[in-house]
Amino acid sequence: MTVVATRRSYRQFCGLAAALDVVGERWTMLLVRDLALGARRYGELLEGLPGIGEGLLAQRLRHLEAEGIARRTFSQAHGAVVYELTEDGMALFEALVPLTAWGLKRVDLDDDEGVKADWLAVALRARLDPLQTSGVEERYAFWVDDEPFTIAVGDETIAVERGEPEDPALRVDIDLDALMQIGAGAMSITEAREAGRTTISGDPKAISRYARLWTGIRR
Amino acid sequence: MTVVATRRSYRQFCGLAAALDVVGERWTMLLVRDLALGARRYGELLEGLPGIGEGLLAQRLRHLEAEGIARRTFSQAHGAVVYELTEDGMALFEALVPLTAWGLKRVDLDDDEGVKADWLAVALRARLDPLQTSGVEERYAFWVDDEPFTIAVGDETIAVERGEPEDPALRVDIDLDALMQIGAGAMSITEAREAGRTTISGDPKAISRYARLWTGIRR
DNA sequence: CCGCATCCGCGTTGATACTG
DNA sequence: CAGTATCAACGCGGATGCGG
């Protein structure tokens, strides 16, 4: 018979240790990252985490469910079972953004094996500062190659999702390689613009509000 | 001979994955946390991370060194080799603060009787610097909610134990939540005082000696 | 004692095969 | 497609050893 799974715990009276007791094991935080961009099916998650064992993914999902971080629901849109973050799971993702920003400096540009637009959306979110929002509720269309993303801005909140927004206040187009180089600090936005790698179109005031969101980027 | 250790990597173009490639393995983030409180000796780190294998600690330290997160130096003050964070290591610690804050909500306040108090004593001890002792032998009463601790100070020695001291030189009162927030950097001691979350009473000179013991804490 | 290196037993992980 | 079962390989924790 199976023995009771004695989860390994740091058992320290500390917020960081408590967080790591819950999401410190391999793949768990990346799973939260993938779910942060929207509801995902089991197969989509597998695809987004190359190298994870199938059994391990099932185990991690059950754990996130038990901890109230993710939720298993039936999606009309997908016509199938999907996993999505709870409110607390979203709060966790927000808490991971600074760590993501720190790690961005260490991304290996020459290792584009397995580049995915989704991961860039996360990187995108890590570079936008919710405190710079103007309070205006609006959405920006952000196209990376032929992949559309929505940047939804509200009062001190920013969400980045896959898909095209309705009624966008502006539209940004950029190719994947340029975005990678900008994110890693290897190219400035101005250089990308001059090289025709990116364009912005829309209401100038919206562009001004949008530009203010960016942090830690060479203009 | 042993084979070259092929470090396991997520190999994803993503800031979070890159960060976890560096500090995602077991104990590593907690090690950064402990180093963030000031330079520490090998033995002190071992004491602050109960359960870590001794060999593993050495391995993690070498890794943090190679990644430019920690530095191995000789400390005049300690009279021994110590490890300390680099500037980039400090930036990493800052990036962990929101995750710590998220995890604080999950710290089990109603943990089994002794466990809570024992870990509290360890956490307390980790933030006091024996080298800052004045040489005066005295004891401080440290009350967390309704739980009394004794901080016994001698000549470059500090011991923290459960229970109420005889003849204390001063008395500190603080509520558990405030103490954890201070430890996580989410609150300064001054803020806690102004909010009436903590009080110190006793001989002003003893208070001055006591205050000097604290390291790596926002006042 | 302190600061590690080495070895061993076991739990966790990764890849493949299998089932409804 | 959404998982489960199985097993080999790896990471980890504990004990031991060893020079300073």
| A51 contact to strand C (CB, 7 A limit) | yes
pLDDT tens for chain A, 219 residues: list them: 333 445 789 988 788 999 999 999 999 999 999 998 788 999 999 988 999 999 999 999 999 999 999 999 998 877 889 999 999 999 999 899 889 889 988 876 555 544 566 777 777 887 788 888 888 999 999 998 888 899 999 988 888 888 899 999 999 999 887 887 776 666 888 899 999 999 999 999 999 999 888 865 667
pLDDT at A87: 94
CB-CB neighbors (< 8 A) of B147 in chain A: none
Contact between residue B192 and residue B214 where contact means Cβ atoms under 8 Å apart: no
Residues 6-65 of B with CB under 7 A from strand C: 8, 41-43, 53-55, 58-59, 61-62
Across all residues in chain B, what is the average pLDDT? 85
**pLDDT score of B130:** 75
pLDDT given at position A161: 85
Q: What is the pLDDT of residues A158-209, one digit of tens each?
A: 888 888 999 999 999 998 878 877 766 668 888 999 999 999 999 999 999 9
Q: What is the pLDDT of residues B128-179, one digit of tens each?
A: 777 788 889 999 999 988 889 899 998 877 888 888 999 999 999 998 888 8
Lookup result for tokens 């559309």: A148
Buried b (16+ CB within 10 A) or exposed e, B104-129: bebbeeeeeeeebbbbbbbbbbbbbb
Tokens of B84: 């300390």
* 3-class state of residue B213 by DSSP: coil
Residue B1 in this model has a pLDDT that exceeds 60: no
Task: Report how far apart the first and last C-alpha atoms of chain A are (Å, whole number).
Answer: 61
pLDDT one-digit tens code per residue, B39-76: 889 998 998 899 999 999 999 999 999 999 999 998 77
pLDDT at A140: 96
Task: Verify if strand C has an atom below 7 Å from the CB of A68.
Answer: no
Ordered alpha helix ranges (H), B24-112 = 28-36, 42-48, 54-66, 87-104
Q: What is the pLDDT of residue A198?
A: 94
Shortest Cα–Cα distance, B92 to chain A (Å): 7
The answer to whether B120 faces chain A, any CB pair under 8 Å, is yes
Q: Touching check for A110 and chain B: CB below 8 Å?
A: no
Interface with chain B: mutation pick from A11, A16, A64, A87, highest number of B CBs within 10 Å:
A16
Return all residues near A159 (Cβ < 8 A) that are at least 6 apart. Answer: A125, A150, A151, A152
**A78 nearest nucleotide via C1' and CA:** D1
pLDDT band of residue B188 (cuts 50, 70, 90) is confident
| Amino acid B3: pLDDT | 41
Q: Do the bridges between strand B80-85 and strand B70-75 make them parallel or antiparallel, or are there none, so unpaired?
A: antiparallel
Strand C, CB < 7 A, residues 63-82 of B: 72, 80-81
What angle (nearest 5°) sits at the alpha carbon of residue A73, between those of residues A72 and A78? 120
Say how many C-beta atoms besides its own lie within 10 A of residue A189's C-beta: 18
Angle (nearest 5°) at CA A198 between A187 and A105 = 30
Q: Where are the alpha helices (DSSP H) in A68-160?
A: 87-104, 117-126
Percent of chain B with pLDDT over 70: 86
B2 CB-near residues (< 8 Å, 6+ apart): none
Contacts of A146 (CB under 8 A, 6+ apart): none
Of A178, A165, A175, residue with least CA distance to A210 = A165
Within 30-49 of A, beta carbons closer than 8 Å to B belong to 30, 33
Q: Is B104 on the interface with A (CB under 8 A)?
A: yes
B29: tokens are 């983030």
Handedness of CA A86, A88, A92, A94 (dihedral sign): positive
Q: Record the pTM.
A: 0.77
Which amino acid does the sequence have at B144? V
Q: Using 50, 70 and 90 to split pLDDT, how confident is the model at B217? A: low
Q: Which residue of B has its CA nearest to A16?
A: B100
pLDDT computed for residue B181 by the predictor: 75
pLDDT confidence tier of residue B119, bands split at 50, 70 and 90: low
Report which of residues A34 and B120 the model is more confident about. A34
Identify any residues that bridge with A184 across adjacent strands, giving them in sequence order. Answer: none
